[in-house]
Chain A
């Protein structure tokens, strides 16, 4: 069990140096906030009438979000929700969903 102690120390150092770095799973975590309506990993329930986002090319999702934000694309609710996320966050979300099956 002795070998765990140096590993613990190494972990502390790694944590300290990365204190302000973004979480490597940030895109996954942000995309999960969409899943309540759009389905786990963007796979909406078939027949639910809500758009699935899994596998949609990133640019397409980003354009749709931009149109919701500007009002070019009418929405019941997405025009309000999109304004709660930064552009960088929307980019991570669109990237994550594009990679899902």
Chain B
């Protein structure tokens, strides 16, 4: 952004006045302008709050979110397992509105014009922006599971990989299942949202069966060669806690589904379940595809790690699960929150005529419940590396729990309270 376009500079100058620009230039200035954020999840809510907080209200922020409330994916497996309710994982946007002065609009963005710097809403209106943040999460590649393309099929064979109505529906399917039934969960090839999430879900469904339907089974159909996260800790939980209940099958990619009989079609085999939970392969949310920004493998957004800005399209920053990840970086809510702060800092610098921070750091922590109380974690720290122009995991830092334990079960719930407040309160 060193070569700030004259047009942009005039826009900033016109909004903030010459004095503000002069201060910005001197390094202590207050940024100003209008940032539109698309998507109010872990990434979008965080960037909206931090832009307002760090600019002390100098930057106007509009957040466009299609849902009326925030519903958390992390902790949603406890709703499926029966320990928590939807109310426990649902939070309003009123904190962003009232405390932080974010304009929250419930709508869908249908188009982005990167040249005119406008977004069009489904409701018919359009908004102009100085900087745009897309935090759209993922959408599913239904072509990879052809029988699930239609809405009716999708209402029978659930993913429950976006917390919301499907979370409730999957819980209901499990409650309705007879004892002695089989629940099968399929995992797509990495990268996918929340690497340990499917294994956690398998544990919590097995925990429910152990208590309420002890003749029932959980089968994990994993398209990957091996357990993708916390392998030793998950396999130990399955053998210690759920022997005879959980069965893990690697290299078992689901190619299609026979919806009427809850049957997963694998490459050489079929698997019939009573409750079939298919997590299809995913890619950056639809709006990233519609906006014309550069994608990697036609799936994930290519970004500059100093600013989270698209490598192809100036003025558009992209966060969270939608991006092509840095080496070993998971697609997680915690990481999306960290992206939001990195982007907020960079955007405020850019709006006041400064370079983004040349040495950003992000870190991840992810807790998984293996039963109603015991938890295991994985953590990592990622520092910017100028040579590779990406954030690299710090060697010797991070790691996993020594063993599942109840202390981390309490910490995991404390983590949720704090990160939800960090985004929304």
Give the B-binding residues of A (Cβ under 8 A). 1, 3-5, 7-8, 10-12, 14-16, 18-20, 22-26, 28-30, 32-33, 35-40, 44-45, 47-50, 76-77, 80-85, 89
Contact = CB atoms under 8 A, between A and B. Distances in A.
Interface residues on B, range: 35 or more
Given A15-B353, A48-B414, A33 B338 contact: yes
A19 B418 CA distance: 35
A89 B2 contact: no
Closest A-B pairs by Cβ, 4 of them: A84-B381, A84-B397, A23-B357, A83-B397
Contact of B365 (A12, A49, A81): A81
Q: For chain A, what secondary structure do more than half of its interface residues adopt (helix, strand, loop), or is it mixed?
A: helix
Interface of B: 2-4, 6, 9-10, 13, 18, 21-22, 24-28, 49-50, 53-54, 334, 337-338, 341-342, 345, 349, 353-363, 365, 377, 379-383, 394, 396-399, 401, 405, 407-408, 410-411, 413-415, 417-419, 421-422, 425
A24 B25 contact: no
Given A14-B27, A39-B418, A84 B13 contact: no
26 contacts: A8-B6, A11-B9, A11-B21, A11-B24, A12-B3, A12-B4, A22-B358, A23-B357, A24-B27, A25-B345, A28-B345, A32-B341, A33-B341, A33-B361, A35-B422, A36-B419, A39-B421, A47-B417, A76-B401, A77-B379, A81-B379, A83-B398, A84-B361, A84-B363, A84-B380, A84-B397
A15 B25 CA distance: 8
A33 B358 CA distance: 16
Given A15-B2, A44-B418, A76 B411 contact: yes
A36 B422 contact: yes
A15 to B, nearest CB: 5
Contacts, number: 153
B360 A80 contact: no
B245 to A, nearest CB: 27
A70 B415 CA distance: 24
Contacts of B365: 36-37, 77, 81
A29 B360 CA distance: 8
B25 A33 contact: no
Contact of B25 (A3, A11, A36): A11
B422 A84 contact: no
A9 to B, nearest CB: 10
Contacts of B405: 76
A37 B362 CA distance: 13
A97 to B, nearest CB: 14
A38 to B, nearest CB: 7
